[in-house]
Amino acid sequence: MSGLTSWPEPVVRVQSLSESGMRAIPERYVKAPSDRPSFTNETENHHQHVDIPVIDLTNLFGKDPTLHEETVRLIAVACEEWGFFQAANHGVSHELIERTREAWRHFFNMPLEFKQQYANMPTTYEGYGSRLGVQKGATLDWSDYFFLHYLPDSLRNHSKWPSQPSFCRELLSEYGAEVVKLGGRLLKAMSTNLGLKEDYLQNAFGGEDIGACLRVNFYPKCPQPDLTLGLSSHSDPGGMTFLLPDHDVAGLQVHKNGRWITVKPVPNAFIVNVGDQIQVLSNAIYKSVEHRVIVNSVKDRVSLAFFYNPKSDLLIEPAKELVSEEQPALYSPMTFDEYRLYIRTKGPCGKAQVESLGST
């Protein structure tokens, strides 16, 4: 993990900047004009009602084979065409979701000194952080976060999880277990859709030994939301992401046909997206799609991104069944441990990394 031993500059909490009441954001957060959000486009997409697909998962868990098949098809189309969908009726208790989100709001509202005891380092990224990447002089994003390992058990360290609110650790264990269960079900649907054995993707991820981590994002109010981003454009490096967005503040934008679509969250749904590892395993039949987050001057936003990942030391490569003379393997094998060093060093870079994996 060379080069990932310390932050290149003193860490500034974006929440402190926001709460200081400053009218102009520091230069470090001002994006190049081409990366700034365009609030006119956003209005357009609301007029046209373009949004990522919403899929009701009720029948994925039901007994009716026709309805099951139909749901599986909808997932396939979403993964091929969007790399994103909103999953409603996903089986995770709404009450659990609500309580977990509130626990994290509570955490970010704790005094700075409390949160600082969890200050993270780029060696593992676990804890309270304010940047992704260690490039000196990089333009920064308008957000703070908390990152923790959920699986494997050997990496789960409860003492690195917030001790306050008091029920936070317990809730997280429960929340993680439920989301992992959902992840397993979706991997089956995806494998079937790809024409692979039902347990292909799960096995490629390490069977029971998958990795999973949680990144809770806190996007403070921003006095100049038109100049910056809460999270720069990236695709998720891992397997699959379950994003629990803020219950009343939008912010996630998905790149589609050269435009940025602002997702309108369906209450209690998860926003599910394909990560780079599934793009590789599916030999690009499923796409990990670029996304980013915009901020606003009115309300803080909290989101929970749960990353369902392959076991970190397995080689991930296109499924042999999906490789032929006409469809050669598009990516060379790599472990997820090696793969994620890139974003941990360079920060969010659109789709530059997965595109650099080309095997030819």
Strands 291-293 and 231-234 come out as: antiparallel
Q: Which of positions 225-284 make contact with ligand OGA (CB under 6 A)?
A: 231, 236, 243, 245, 251-252
Q: Which of 192, 217, 279, 309 binds ligand OGA (CB under 6 A)?
A: 217
Using CB under 6 A, count the residues that bind ligand OGA. Answer: 12
Q: Least CB distance from residue 236 to Ni ion, whole Å?
A: 4
Stretch that binds Ni ion, among 97-105, 162-170, 205-213, 230-238 (CB under 5 A): 230-238
Residue among 274 and 330 whose Cβ is closer to ligand OGA: 274
What is the DSSP secondary-structure string of 130-188?
A: S-S---TTPPPPS-EEEEEEEESGGG--GGGS---STTHHHHHHHHHHHHHHHHHHHHH
Dihedral pair phi/psi, residue 288, rounded to 5°: -90, 125
Contact with ligand OGA (CB under 6 A) among 131, 188, 291, 344: 291
Least Å distance, CB 215 to ligand OGA, is 5
**302 lines the binding site for ligand OGA (CB under 6 A):** no
- Judged by beta carbon, residue 189 or residue 295, the one nearer ligand OGA is 295
| Residue 126's binding partner out of Ni ion, ligand OGA, none, with CB under 5 to 8 Å set by partner kind | none
Which residue number, 59 or 273, has a Cβ lying nearer to Ni ion?
273
Minimal distance, residue 53 CB to ligand OGA, in Å = 17
How far is 141 from 179, CA to CA, in rounded Å? 27
CA distance 160 to 206: 25
Report the distance separating Cα 271 and Cα 349, nearest Å: 21
Q: Report what 245 binds from ligand OGA, Ni ion, none; CB cut-off 5-8 Å by kind.
A: ligand OGA
Q: What is the C-alpha separation between 74 and 333, in angstroms, rounded?
A: 29
Interface segment toward Ni ion; rule CB under 5 A; list 159-167, 170-178, 187-195, 236-244 = 236-244
236 binds Ni ion (CB under 5 A): yes
CA angle 284-286-292, nearest 5°? 105
Among 214, 261, 269, 305, contact with ligand OGA (rule: CB under 6 A): 305
30: helix, strand or coil: coil
Q: How many residues bind Ni ion (CB under 5 A)?
A: 1
Task: Write down the least CB distance from residue 303 to Ni ion, Å.
Answer: 9
Pick the closer one to ligand OGA by CB: 107 or 200. Answer: 107
Q: Which of 293, 319, 330, 357 binds ligand OGA (CB under 6 A)?
A: 293
Which DSSP symbol is given to 259? E
Q: Closest separation between CB of residue 234 and ligand OGA, Å?
A: 7
Q: Whose Cβ is closer to Ni ion: residue 178's or residue 236's?
A: 236
The answer to whether 65 and 273 are in contact (CB under 8 A) is no
How many residues are present in the chain?
360
Q: Which amino acid is at 130?
A: S
Could you list the beta-strand ranges (E) of 220-349.
Answer: 231-234, 240-244, 252-256, 259-262, 270-274, 291-293, 301-309, 315-316, 334-335
Q: Which is nearer to Ni ion, 293 or 322 (CB)?
A: 293
Distances (CA, A) of 189 to 68, 71, 85, 183, 257: 10, 9, 14, 10, 26
Q: Which residues bind Ni ion (CB under 5 A)?
A: 236
Q: Which residues bind ligand OGA (CB under 6 A)?
A: 215, 217, 231, 236, 243, 245, 251-252, 291, 293, 303, 305
